[in-house]
Amino acid sequence: MTTTATELDAALEEARARYVAANPASAAAYEQAGAVFPGGTTRSTVCYPPFPLTIRSGSGARITDVDGHEYVDLLGEFTAGLYGHDHPVVRAAIEQALDAGWGYGAPGLGETRLAEVLCRRFPSLERVRFTNSGTEANLLALATATTFTGRASVLVFAGGYHGSVLSFGPDGRPLAIDVPHRWVVGTYNDVEGTDELITQHADDLAAILVEPMLGAGGCVPARPAFLELLRRRASEVGALLILDEVMTSRMSGGGQQQRLGLRPDLTTLGKYVGGGLSSGAFGGRADVLDLYDGGGVPHSGTFNNNVFSMAAGFAGLTEIFPPPVADELFARGEALRARLNGIGAGLQWTGLGSLMTVHFQRTAIANAADIDPAPKARELFHLEMLHRGIYLARRGLVALSLSIGADECDRFVEAVGEFVRRFDDVVS
């Protein structure tokens, strides 16, 4: 059978029509939202054409939309939903916090115990500070680096995503709304080119900000040699290496840095670190974080120590996600990705541990420019998975939560197998 654009268009048209017919309540919710939210949403990531599913409830590994369809949730709130939707331990921690009231405008006990766990688990975190999100953690880490070094340039990589105002397209261009740092944009995993860039900007480089795996950029893991280069050259030129582990901190008890034996100067965290509630953190070398000691440089934030995130985060890390569980989850993800890649045909799954993204190409992917965006194939795949009761991101991201077990993995592999049997000629 020959592949033609017409076949893909026809398959998409059919899948879209079926989606629209099956989801009138989501369509109505989207229309209502459009009257108050530009683009119909307050969170661009969760919006996709023709309209996103609006979710009514979630429990364990399942979510239910406003039209009453139940899905296996393989998106796991873009990694923040590590504990599922209603873990009893998280719930108990929130309830206990509720009993003591909230909003003290003062230090509480919760933030210190959560910080202690993080510093114990991530040896590079000698000191830490909480924020409200991963975006904010990276903004603060960058401000820390420019203040500490007295320099202005920041090396980032094409396809890197460090938050809503810290996002770099596959072509390396910052978004129009990005914060105005003096950006130097390199190519991910390009050891030689990056080495040269660092030499060119050596005198003004405040920080190198990098994800150990391009997350939103398509789950592209860093080559160890690339990160080793960044570590070595940052020290040589007096820049701070900031490792954005907002997504990858789940890869072991001490994050991907533990797996790699890498010690960054600063690390940023977020997502599940607050138990699934709003949170973020940045931390690292004591001599750098001492900027904030004694009020020399202020770092404020009304909700930095909000009692619910602090309580849920502590309970999650200590009672649900101790290091051996992190290792098990990593292994479960690796096994699932191997099975998915074993299906073969035109699909390729890249990632690390419990995080993976589908690509519609067989050619190797080392950086963002290597990725075929294949928007129509991604849309068809997404709609077909939804039709089979599997919920994942439109861009093809899967983030396993701890609620996803063998049955859910089997069901997913089966659904992907069906997709490949039916559409491989169409999408490849």
Residues that bind ligand PMP (CB under 6 A): 78, 133-135, 138, 161-163, 211, 215-216, 244, 246-247, 270, 280
Q: How far is the CB of 398 from ligand PMP (least distance, A)?
A: 14
Q: How far is the CB of 5 from ligand PMP (least distance, A)?
A: 32
Q: How far is the CB of 393 from ligand PMP (least distance, A)?
A: 11
Pairwise CA distance, residues 293 & 115, whole Å = 16
Pairwise CA distance, residues 428 & 420, whole Å = 10
Task: Rank residues 399 and 416 by Cβ distance to ligand PMP and give the closer one.
Answer: 399
Q: How far is the CB of 131 from ligand PMP (least distance, A)?
A: 9
If you ran DSSP here, which 8-state letter would residue 51 be given? -
Task: Rank residues 278 and 428 by Cβ distance to ligand PMP and give the closer one.
Answer: 278
Task: Rank residues 170 and 389 by Cβ distance to ligand PMP and give the closer one.
Answer: 170
Task: Rank residues 64 and 164 by Cβ distance to ligand PMP and give the closer one.
Answer: 164
Closest residue to ligand PMP, based on beta-carbon distance = 134
Phi, psi at 391, each rounded to 5°: -105, 120
Asked whether the beta carbons of 358 and 428 are under 8 A apart, the reply is no
Task: Report CA 7 to chain centroid distance, whole Å.
Answer: 33
Which H helix or E strand runs over 62? strand 62-65
Q: Pick the closest to residue 200 from 243, 146, 237, 158 (CA basis).
A: 237
Q: How far is the CB of 232 from ligand PMP (least distance, A)?
A: 23
Q: Pick the closest to residue 162 from 310, 280, 7, 332 (CA basis).
A: 280
Query: Which residues are within 8 A (CB) of 358 and not within 5 positions of it... i.e. 6 or more apart?
Result: 340, 347, 348, 349, 378, 381, 396, 398
Task: Rank residues 161 and 226 by Cβ distance to ligand PMP and give the closer one.
Answer: 161
3-state SS class at 176: coil
Q: How far is the CB of 359 from ligand PMP (least distance, A)?
A: 18
Task: Rank residues 282 and 330 by Cβ distance to ligand PMP and give the closer one.
Answer: 282
